[in-house]
Amino acid sequence: MTDYVYDFARGGRGMAELLGNKGANLAEMTRLGLPVPRGFTITTEACRVFLSSGEPPPELERQIAEHVSALERAAGKRLGQADDPLLLSVRSGARVSMPGMMETILDIGLNDYSVLGLAKSSERERFAWDSYRRLVQMFGGTVMGLDNSLFEETLTRIEEQHHVPDDSRLDVCDLIRTVESFKDLIAERSGLEFPQSPAEQLRQAVLAVFASWNGERARLYRRRERIPDDLGTAVTVQTMVFGNLGRDSGSGVAFTRDPATGRTGVYGDYLPSAQGEDVVSGVRNAVPLQELAALDPTSFGRLQEYLARLESHYHDLCDVEFTIERGRLWMLQTRVGKRTARAAFTIASDMADEGLITHRQALSRVDGEQLTRLMFPRFDAAGTADVVARGVPASPGAAVGAVVFDSAEAVRRADAGEKVVLVRNETTADDLPGMIAAEAVLTTRGGKTSHAAVVARGMGKVCVCGAEDMIVDVRARCLVVDGLTVGEGSVVSVDGSEGSVRLGAVPLVESQVVRYFDSGAPPDAAAQDLVRHVHRLMQQADAARRLEVRANADTPQDAARARRFGAEGIGLCRTEHMFLGDRRRLVEDMILAEGDAERDAALAALLPLQRADFTGILEAMDELPVTIRLLDPPLHEFLPDRTDLAVRVARRDAVGDPPDEHDSALLAAVSRMHERNPMLGLRGVRLGLVVPGLFAMQVRAIAEAVVERLRAGGTPRAEIMVPLVDTVEELRLVREEAERVLAAVSEEAGVVVACPVGTMIELPRAALTAGRIAREAAFFSFGTNDLTQTTWGFSRDDVEAAFFSAYLQKGVFPASPFETVDREGVGRLVRIAVTEGRAVRPELELGVCGEHGGDPASVHFFHEVGLDYVSCSPFRVPIARLEAGRAAV
């Protein structure tokens, strides 16, 4: 026969699946000999039976009755008996703590008779009636489903009638009247009576906890947190103890260390003469726990001792809820406590020093999300400006600047020393200079994988996308939000972590951790300890990890910063950003060239510029690998917008001006190149195969940069990467061409220029034929952005705004597959390519350079499948290092 009910004396912390976290920890404290009021836990299994069949298991009622009898025998009083009744609390407790589920019902067992018994035994009539009032209110709300505001309204009415400011001033008669009013309210609204039978109260409370598992908020929470729907919750039933029996009683919460800073030393709040719920709800101001030392030194001493025992037993920060009933200390709950990012690093590092945990365990106590939080500047909590618009929190951090509406203005003002926020409906490659110049980017359209978001994250800039409440009028150079018109130059504060915009300048606090990573500069005195702890845990991670961490960077400045952040090379140097700005005209000449001679001349003009780009990057990353990707985007991205051009040409025509030949030629070229699906069109390796001389020029620039660096005494390690390969034939053709160029430069320079040639794997076909492709590739780098796009058939530029929020809400997937790698689909393709590639070429180097390379959960996956490195934006390098270390312990 199945046991659905476990006494606290049976079970322990290892049984959280069956007993829930609360039940398992109560059992653990009981086993440790701590003073826990007696009780029992009804298992998650009983809940699962109820959820699947709509009925509790048939034997549950009898098992509960037996355990209640045992409690009664131990207490020497009976549940709800008319004189000196035994009273119980009922609480929900799933394996993971879950807001949105029913939490607590206190004082089960009180009814019209036992309330008199409680008044007598406690010698406190008011206390007894107040307890009864609380039970009827909690029962009516959480068990019978009435809106709690109805009870609050009734209570306020009674308080007003008696001219008292709150319920603590109501006298016994008022409370008796309140209980009657509450019972009437229940009968009126539900058609049912408040149950007088204690056993019935208990039965209904237990079933209500079971049912709360499927409450709307609980379901939503589970979906968001990826908690399976079929776990069910346990229910703990515990003998009541009272903190509200006078000055020698009280309730509190305590932590074994400070959960905000991580500092050692007991920390918490105490509320004399109150029940636990009063402390948590904050209705009255609690005093610092230390004051208990003066109020009740014996209990304080005991509490300290118990906290120390719990921490050394759990090897972690614990928090507890406790009650002192007439000078006697009771432990009501414990768990491994939540903490801030700062506290997590401090506690892990301190506990390792204290020998409480190993250094490896310390690493598993912190994570990349926490490190991310420590790396962003934040708004000073004292900043009070109201939020005027909200959007998608696309790139975290906080920034303040003057609003500008185009890239040129952003650059102009930034050059003059002003901090700016670039506001656009959406961004394109054209906005890049403005994005570089700006502190933050704010758009009205797009989501987390829009151009603005991806580029801003890459640069570590703050970004809020899709702030739909704002209307941007670029021509009038203003935006309208919340009924206000904000002109160019007005200052706004953008919070990319919460996706909000405020008017005016909210004061900023710089991240000391970034300051330290970036410059090694000593932190402020206040942050010294934190930086020391972060540094030590990073050292642990570096020692433990198998994955190398490289950066995606395409300027010497980014490369140098990435290196300071610990990057061990560049995994992706995108060359398209080198084709913008002043060079645009040369790129246009190349695209418009009529005949080989014109094209060669345009390419020849680009060559020295590209060579200088590569030389700078190779210098910044001297001795470390630098993977340079040949040009990837469709060429029309480097030409003006088709509609703008057509308007310009038509306007001249309309007013009878002679045509501008350059514009006309551009328009013809843009029209010729127009594609309906450019991301699936002429881009990547396809460009190399149809635009003569383009890739050869880039390879030559790389090779000549290598020669230059060698001559300067450097150790350049350039690698050449081919994008968007579908079939081995494409790669073979490009590789052969590249090797011809490398051989020619070697010959001209009189030095051997050896650059490995490899490929991105970013199309499903490439992954599925990786065995063949490996014959021609020195390395694979998984481009999981395009691989996600093409595997799912999702346009990475459009989907987030179009339907991702609906998909996330409906639980189609728990997180955007563009943020966290989809293990089942995209991940499977990666596994296939790893296995088949290595089978053909065991020394094949394997990395990833899509956005996922800096995502904590994805880094663990890449470790598991055996990649050699992950590559991510410079700002995410420390996060990837930490997660790679955690994946290995």
| Cβ-based neighbours of 542, under 8 Å, separated by 6 or more | 566, 881, 885
Q: Has 31 been labeled as part of a binding site?
A: no
Nearer Cβ to ligand PEP (12/764): 764
Cα 421 from Cα 401, distance rounded (Å): 5
DSSP structure class, residue 841: -
Least Å from the CB of residue 791 to ligand PEP: 11
> Which of Mg ion, ligand PEP, none binds 572 (CB below 5-8 Å, type-dependent)?
ligand PEP
Q: Which of 450, 784, 790, 791 binds ligand PEP (CB under 6 A)?
A: 784
Nearer to ligand PEP, 271 or 766 (CB): 766
Could you say whether residue 496 binds ligand PEP (CB under 6 A)? Answer: no
Return the sign of the alpha-carbon dihedral for residues 415, 420, 422, 423.
Answer: negative
167 scored as a contact of Mg ion (CB under 5 A): no
Q: How many CA atoms lie within 13 A of 718 on its CB side?
A: 33
Choose, from 451, 636, 860, 863, the residue flagged as catalytic: 451
> Considering CB distances under 5 to 8 angstroms, the limit depending on partner class, which of ligand PEP, Mg ion, none binds residue 204?
none
Residue 716 near Mg ion by CB under 5 A: no
If one counts every other C-beta atom within 10 angstroms of the C-beta of residue 817, the result is: 25
Of the pair 204, 781, the CB lying nearest ligand PEP is at 781
Among 568, 786, 855, 883, binds ligand PEP (CB under 6 A): 786
**CB-based closest residue to Mg ion:** 786
Determine, following the binding rule CB under 6 A, whether residue 761 of this chain makes contact with ligand PEP: no
Could you say which of ligand PEP, Mg ion, none residue 105 binds, taking C-beta under 5 to 8 angstroms by partner kind?
A: none
The four Cα atoms 452, 456, 457, 460 give a dihedral, to 10 degrees, of: -170
Residue 623 token pair: 């001795």
783 binds ligand PEP (CB under 6 A): yes
Q: Does residue 47 carry a catalytic annotation?
A: no
Confirm or reject binding of residue 762 to ligand PEP (CB under 6 A).
Answer: yes
Verify binding: residue 574, ligand PEP, rule CB under 6 A: yes
Place of tokens 């025998």: 73
- The answer to whether 459 and 553 have CB atoms below 8 angstroms apart is no
Identify the H or E element spanning 323. Answer: strand 318-325
Q: Is 572 in the site for ligand PEP (CB under 6 A)?
A: yes
Angle at 356 between CA 353 and CA 357, to 5 degrees: 85
DSSP string, 723-760: -S--SHHHHHHHHHHHHHHHHHHHHHHTS-----EEEE
Closest CA to 716 of 572, 615, 847: 615
The correct pick among 773, 849, 859, 877 for binding ligand PEP (CB under 6 A) is 849
List binders of Mg ion among 412-431 (CB under 5 A).
none
The one-letter code for the residue type at 19 is L
Residues 752-771 touching Mg ion, rule: CB under 5 A, are 762
- From residue 515, alpha-carbon distances to 395, 512, 523, 524 in Å are 19, 5, 7, 10
- Would you say 261 or 785 has its CB closer to ligand PEP? 785
Structure tokens at 325: 């009933």
**Is 25 part of any known ligand binding site?**
no
Smallest distance from Mg ion to CB 432, Å: 17
Nearer to ligand PEP, 679 or 710 (CB): 679
Alpha carbons 612 and 619: distance in angstroms, whole number: 11
Beta bridge mates, 627: 719
- For residue 863, the minimal CB distance to Mg ion (Å) is 22
Considering beta carbons, is residue 387 or 580 the nearer one to Mg ion?
580
On whether the CB atoms of residues 887 and 859 are closer than 8 A, the answer is yes
User: Is there a binding annotation on residue 174?
Assistant: no
Q: Pick the closer one to Mg ion by CB: 576 or 708.
A: 576
Q: Least distance in Å: CB of 346 to Mg ion? A: 40
Cβ atoms within 10 Å of 122's Cβ, excluding its own = 18
The count of residues interacting with Mg ion (CB under 5 A) is 3
**Per the annotation, does 686 bind a ligand?**
no
Q: Are strands 378-379 and 387-390 parallel, antiparallel or unpaired?
A: unpaired
Which CB, 530 or 722, lies closer to Mg ion? 722
Residue (of 73, 69, 22, 74) closest to 43 by Cα position: 22
- How far apart, in whole angstroms, are the C-alpha atoms of residue 701 and residue 742? 10
Least spacing, CB of residue 660 vs ligand PEP, in Å: 33
Residue 558 within binding range of ligand PEP, rule CB under 6 A: no
On whether 43 is known to bind a ligand per the annotation, the reply is: no
Is 76 annotated as contributing to ligand binding?
no
Q: Provide the minimum distance between the beta carbon of 572 and ligand PEP in the complex, in angstroms, as a whole number.
A: 6
Backbone angles phi, psi at 379, to 5 degrees: -75, 140
Q: What is the Cα–Cα distance from 138 to 151, expressed in whole angstroms? A: 9
Binding map of Mg ion across residues 475-514, x = CB under 5 A, - = no contact? ----------------------------------------
| Residues within window 777-806 making contact with Mg ion, judged by CB under 5 A | 783, 786
Residues with Cβ < 8 Å from 599, sequence gap 6 or more? 590, 593, 692, 693
Active site residue 863: no
Residue count, binding to ligand PEP (CB under 6 A)? 10
| Buried b / exposed e along 856-882 (16+ C-beta atoms within 10 A) | bbbbbbbbebebbbbbbbbbbbbbbbb
Contacts of 715 (CB under 8 A, 6+ apart): 622, 623, 709
Least distance in Å: CB of 445 to Mg ion? 22
Structure tokens at 545: 């990890």
Q: Which segment (91-99, 656-664, 708-716, 778-786) binds ligand PEP by CB under 6 A? A: 778-786
Q: How far is the CB of 777 from Mg ion (least distance, A)?
A: 16
Indicate whether 566 belongs to the interface with Mg ion (CB under 5 A).
no
CB of 502 to Mg ion, least distance (A): 36
Under rule CB under 6 A, residue 850 binds ligand PEP: yes
Residue 38 annotated as binding? no
Q: Is 426 exposed, middle or buried (0-12, 13-18, 19+ CB in 10 A)?
A: middle
The entry of ligand PEP, Mg ion, none that residue 849 binds, CB within 5 to 8 Å by partner kind? ligand PEP
Partner whose footprint covers residue 325, from Mg ion, ligand PEP, none (CB < 5 to 8 Å by kind): none
Q: How far is the CB of 571 from ligand PEP (least distance, A)?
A: 9
For the annotated catalytic residues, the residue numbers are 451, 849
Binding-site annotation: residue ranges for Mg(2+): 762, 786
Interacting residues with Mg ion (CB under 5 A): 762, 783, 786
The residues binding ligand PEP (CB under 6 A) are 572, 574, 632, 762, 783-786, 849-850
Annotated binding site: 574, 629, 762, 783-786
| Known binding-site positions for substrate | 574, 629, 762, 783-786
